[in-house]
Amino acid sequence: MGAAVAGLTHAGFSLYWALGGRWLLPTVGQWAVTAAREAPVTAGLLLIVVAALKCAVVIIPLAAGRRPLPRPGAWRAFAWLAAAVLTGYGALNSIVAWLVLGGVLRPEGGYDREAMIGHAYLWDPLFLAWGALLGAGLLTGSRDRRKRALDRQR
């Protein structure tokens, strides 16, 4: 359930920005603020797609864990892939942002401090948490399924 909360938080902000909200948008990057200002319809439509994809990554593992879906192995593989990508993406980008903010990495041409702070302490750790919690849920679900299968054999 924690993974779903993290994912829906991400999706919720994407939808909020798609509908014209601007709070925390600069923490994504100045490019996002510029896109929302200069091409609001295009940015909004793109963000609706992003929000829908994030919701799908939340809903598919939940649905697969709650009831049998056709091709359960494929849905589990999708969920494991999502967990790995979210965890890796979140961890790598968080670390890079922390290194930039700490002065260890110095991007040529400087960097957007507000966006770097957003990525170091909010958005990328949230991706990391989403992926890690999804992976933990998948591990727990795998153990529970194996235990139930063994109990049925006894």
In tens, the pLDDT along 105-134 reads: 999 999 999 999 999 999 999 999 999 999
pLDDT mean over 15-25: 98
Out of 1-10, 120-129, 145-154, pick the least confident.
145-154
Residues recorded for the chain: 154
The two tokens of residue 115 are: 């966006």
Residue span of the structural domain in which 71 resides:
2-153
pLDDT mean over 18-32: 98
First to last CA, the chain: 31
Read off the pLDDT of residues 49-101 as tens digits, 9 standing for 90 and up: 999 999 999 999 988 877 778 888 899 999 999 999 999 999 999 999 999 99
Out of 3-12, 48-57, 132-141, pick the least confident.
132-141
How many other CB atoms are found less than 10 A from the CB of residue 133?
20
Counting the structural domains of the chain, the total is: 1
